[in-house]
Amino acid sequence: MGKAITNINRYSVSEEEKRDKDFAEVKEAVADNKDAILKGIQLLKALEEGGTLDTAYAFTNAKRTALERVVQEISKEQYTPLLENLPSLIFLIGELDVNGIRDLTKRLNKGIEEMEQVPSDEKSNVLDVMKALKDPDVNRSLTMMLGFLRGMGRS
């Protein structure tokens, strides 16, 4: 029959071996991520130069106080309508046709440029308006505005 095992020697890693292994891991990670680390250092430098790093550091250290003040301020009655309408506003923004608004904005800007070229003391009469309707650009704009008014009236 075999002899019972009475003494178990566990393998233990010395503190120096553990430190050497950890250092080798960090060294390898630094080598693998050199570009990201350098960009991170550049980012930190830019934040430091702009004073933003100090602000972020101060906010981090005082985050509880800062958040309490933000919550306290936003809890005031004057902000209640804003907070109640915020979800609806977010959904409204999601429904907007951004490309259509961009196109309309370009057209409005062009119209303002044209309007600024007209002397402020110039007057138009009914005959001038009738002649202007023969201009394809004026006719197209008027047709678009009439379509807009029809659509707005149907809603």
pLDDT at residue 70, rounded to an integer = 85
Distance from C-alpha of 25 to C-alpha of 19, rounded to nearest angstrom = 10
Overall pTM > 0.75: no
Predicted local distance difference test score (pLDDT) of residue 1: 62
**pLDDT at residue 36 in the model:** 94
Each residue's pLDDT, cut to its tens digit, for the chain (155 residues) gives 677 877 777 778 888 989 999 999 999 999 999 999 999 999 999 999 988 988 888 888 888 888 888 888 888 999 889 889 999 999 998 898 999 999 989 999 999 998 899 888 888 899 988 999 999 999 999 998 999 899 989 86
The pLDDT of residue 122:
87
Q: What is the DSSP string of 18-81?
A: HHHHHHHHHHHHHHHTHHHHHHHHHHHHHHHHHTHHHHHHHHHHTHHHHHHHHHHHHTSGGGHH
In which residue are the tokens 């961009």 written? 102
Name the CA dihedral angle for 24, 26, 29, 35, rounded to a multiple of 10 degrees: -120
